[in-house]
Structure 1
Amino acid sequence: MQEVRTKDAVGHVLCHDITQIVRGGVKDAVFRKGHVVREEDIPVLLSIGKEHLYVWEQVEGMLHENEAAEILREIAQGSHMRATLPKEGKIELIAEIPGLLKIDKERLHQLNALGELMIATIPSGMVVKEGDKLCGTRVIPLVIEEEKMLAAKALMGDKPLLELLPLKKVKYGVITTGSEVFKGRIKDTFTPVLVDKMAAFGCELKSHRILDDNHEEITSTIQEMLAEGVELVLCTGGMSVDPDDKTPLAIKNTGAEIVSYGAPVLPGAMFMLAYTKEQTPILGLPGCVMYAKKTIFDLVLPLLLAGIPVTKEWLASLGDGGLCQNCEVCHFPNCTFWKGV
């Protein structure tokens, strides 16, 4: 940092904010730290009493905060993201498409532990819209050793810290089970809920069947839907442990690999997930999905659409925070019930 006369400061980079106070309570920076002084700035600076300025002195081996921020941006930025222009050592990454954000949390922690630089993100696993902010990068000092930034880049390797995974708009099938619905005693109110939830992600209902509590018919119908090319099968009803609840047995008899029958989540404990050999998911959805605001289905669905395998280990991890508070005003996913990846 060096002191120069304001009249001689053109082309130099400010080391601090220049604040202007206006009568009536307005106090703000007229020029920000990192601003490159222009000829037209000189009268403004003189008018607020700045005869001398502290500017950045170019030193070999040192990077200005904005140059260093570009290195952080390169470390963080994956596909389907755009970067803002550097400002005061900060660059933000913005989603260019709707998708699910996946962050390498271990490497992110390693980077932030280095000191003097940081990347702050929204939570990994968050579903975002086009234009949503994903992260901000910042270099703490005005200047930082180039060697430190290059070491950070080498430590992080070539794979970006952030991935924005597109959400596939799948064609899905729904199998509604239960003699009470099959025989017309009650109306099917489950399928409309699923259609609404799936439509929010742009997914299309390809096939819907209402069946009696016959596990052989349920199994064969699942197989028929798979043969028709559905990319996700949702089975509703018959998911409890009552003797006449046949859906878990029907899913098992398709030959699909069972990931889990049951999950440490309320609402949603009686959830079932299986994958076919072709990795098509088959879900057994408990009745709570029909009436509760948010359930296990809302936690799992974005991962399935993003192509992230849902594992038994991940499902087991949901117990910590897996109790929905059933708030009068639902703030999901900005709540303790939401789970990332």
Structure 2
Amino acid sequence: MKRVKVDNSIGEPLAHDVIQYGPKVKKILFERGHVVKKKDLNKLKNAGNYYVYVSEDDADLGVHEEKAATRIAKAAAGPNVTFKSPTKARVRLLAESPGLLKVNLDLLKKINLEEDFVLATKRNNTGVMEREEIASTKIAPLAIGKEELDKVKNLLEENKPVLKVIPPKIKKIGVIITGDEIYEGRIEDAFESTLTEKLETYKLTISKSTILPDNKKKIKNKIIEYKEDGIELILVTGGMAVDAGDVTPDAIRDTKAEVIPRGTPIFPGNMAMIAYLDNTPVLGLPACVLPDQVTSFDFILPRILAGEKLTKEDIAELGHGGLL
């Protein structure tokens, strides 16, 4: 590989993709291997390429950036993770199923401390959809030595996985919608449709749904009934604030469920409640789940679905990044 003035590159194959950037523009102008022609010179210069790298023999490149990125992606992909063919020297890793993304943060840091290697992921414990991009990788130079590449690849393979997706383990979900105004028909319920949409992300549906008044005993009894009927996750909506008519938190406590936190360090959604009735999770959802696109529920749900039993420490850690 050699660096030459673009005027002297006619007849030579490009050793890399040439990308044109501009306001709202990012496109491949010429792909790697393109043989430069005289008519290409103005396009190259207009894109700021007065010098280019050319190669008459791929052997002088070492391991090309696209091949290197593909090998890193293959080594990085854990359970339920796949990857696409490289574009612009970058390989994108995708979730093969919906679920919870788990990232080995220590291993990820080690990879990114290696010179010339880049691996970026979505945040650990993020809920992801099927075929959603969850990570991307590339190398900084146009090519990398085989020894350097093998070092990183072996680091990934010996400590794998750096990332994986855990599909939902919970299938039967029950919803208890509370509120005198809904129970009496004064307003229409909006919670069921909202929760249906959120669960569709994970290819799940609501197994049971009921509307109850703000009556502590009725809410408590329905939670217990759902558990006895085999419901694996119970969502109780509304009545989570400190208004005089809000009884949902007390109803959850009255079931003798273990309350992990009353309140989460995430805004919006700080009034959510997480509890376990034996091993069945019971979530109290505040009204902000309706108007706000993302709330504490969106952070908690994928972890619950993956079968994690959340602790007070788990919830406390959500305060970092909890201001949405």
**Shift in Å at residue 258 of structure 1?**
1.4
**Shift in Å at residue 180 of structure 1?**
4.7
The residue that corresponds to 2:148 in the other structure is: 148
Q: 1:42-121 residue pairs with structure 2 within 5 A?
A: 53-57=55-59, 63-85=63-85, 90-121=90-121
**Shift in Å at residue 65 of structure 1?**
4.0
Distance 1:321 1:127 in 2: 15
**Shift in Å at residue 262 of structure 1?**
0.9
The residue that corresponds to 1:255 in the other structure is: 256
Question: Bigger CA drift: 69-78 or 108-117?
Answer: 69-78
SS in 1 for 2:120: strand
Give a deviation string over 1:13-34, Cα, whole Å, max 9, x none.
9672487xxxxxxx976551xx
How many residues of Structure 1 are paired with residues of Structure 2 in the alignment? 294
**Shift in Å at residue 261 of structure 1?**
0.4
SS in 2 for 1:204: coil
Distance 2:13 2:311 in 1: 52
Counterparts in 2 of 1:296 and 1:159: CA distance versus 1, 3 Å: same
**Shift in Å at residue 168 of structure 1?**
5.4
The residue that corresponds to 1:189 in the other structure is: 189
Scaled by the length of structure 1, what TM-score is found? 0.69
Distance 2:290 2:137 in 1: 41
Q: Are the aligned partners of 2:16 and 2:142 in contact in 1 as well (CA < 8 Å)?
A: no
Distance 2:238 2:64 in 1: 61
The residue that corresponds to 2:295 in the other structure is: 295
Give a deviation string over 1:72-129, Cα, whole Å, max 9, x none.
1233112333333457754332333334433223321221111111112344444444
Distance 1:28 1:290 in 2: 42
Q: Which amino acid aligns with 2:217?
A: E
Counterparts in 2 of 1:14 and 1:253: CA distance versus 1, 3 Å: farther
SS in 1 for 2:107: helix
The residue that corresponds to 1:231 in the other structure is: 232
Q: Are the aligned partners of 2:196 and 2:206 in contact in 1 as well (CA < 8 Å)?
A: no
Question: Bigger CA drift: 260-269 or 192-201?
Answer: 192-201
Counterparts in 2 of 1:296 and 1:143: CA distance versus 1, 3 Å: closer
Give a deviation string over 1:165-224, Cα, whole Å, max 9, x none.
324573322223344544x26335254344443453343333233334443332222111
Distance 1:283 1:252 in 2: 12
Q: Are the aligned partners of 1:218 and 1:250 in contact in 2 as well (CA < 8 Å)?
A: yes
Q: Which amino acid aligns with 1:239?
A: M
Counterparts in 2 of 1:17 and 1:239: CA distance versus 1, 3 Å: closer
Q: Which amino acid aligns with 1:223?
A: I
Distance 2:296 2:107 in 1: 28
Q: Are the aligned partners of 1:15 and 1:142 in contact in 2 as well (CA < 8 Å)?
A: no
Scaled by the length of structure 2, what TM-score is found? 0.73
The residue that corresponds to 2:9 in the other structure is: none
Q: Are the aligned partners of 1:2 and 1:57 in contact in 2 as well (CA < 8 Å)?
A: no
Q: Which amino acid aligns with 1:55?
A: D
Counterparts in 2 of 1:216 and 1:78: CA distance versus 1, 3 Å: same
Counterparts in 2 of 1:115 and 1:301: CA distance versus 1, 3 Å: same
Q: Which amino acid aligns with 2:254?
A: N
Give a deviation string over 1:259-279, Cα, whole Å, max 9, x none.
11012233322210112333x
The residue that corresponds to 2:223 in the other structure is: 222
Distance 2:130 2:13 in 1: 34
Q: Are the aligned partners of 1:271 and 1:285 in contact in 2 as well (CA < 8 Å)?
A: yes
C-alpha RMSD of matched pairs (Å): 3.7
**Shift in Å at residue 301 of structure 1?**
2.2
The residue that corresponds to 1:164 in the other structure is: 165
Counterparts in 2 of 1:293 and 1:63: CA distance versus 1, 3 Å: closer
Larger Rg: 1
Structure 1: unaligned runs, 5 residues or longer: 4-12, 20-26, 36-40, 324-336
Distance 1:242 1:46 in 2: 74
Distance 1:147 1:235 in 2: 56
The residue that corresponds to 1:206 in the other structure is: 207
Counterparts in 2 of 1:315 and 1:204: CA distance versus 1, 3 Å: same
Q: Are the aligned partners of 1:174 and 1:191 in contact in 2 as well (CA < 8 Å)?
A: no
Q: Are the aligned partners of 2:17 and 2:88 in contact in 1 as well (CA < 8 Å)?
A: no
Counterparts in 2 of 1:112 and 1:14: CA distance versus 1, 3 Å: farther
Give a deviation string over 1:231-259, Cα, whole Å, max 9, x none.
21111233233565432222123233211
SS in 2 for 1:109: helix
Distance 2:90 2:115 in 1: 15
**Shift in Å at residue 321 of structure 1?**
4.6
Q: Are the aligned partners of 1:15 and 1:55 in contact in 2 as well (CA < 8 Å)?
A: no
SS in 1 for 2:109: helix
Distance 2:108 2:141 in 1: 20
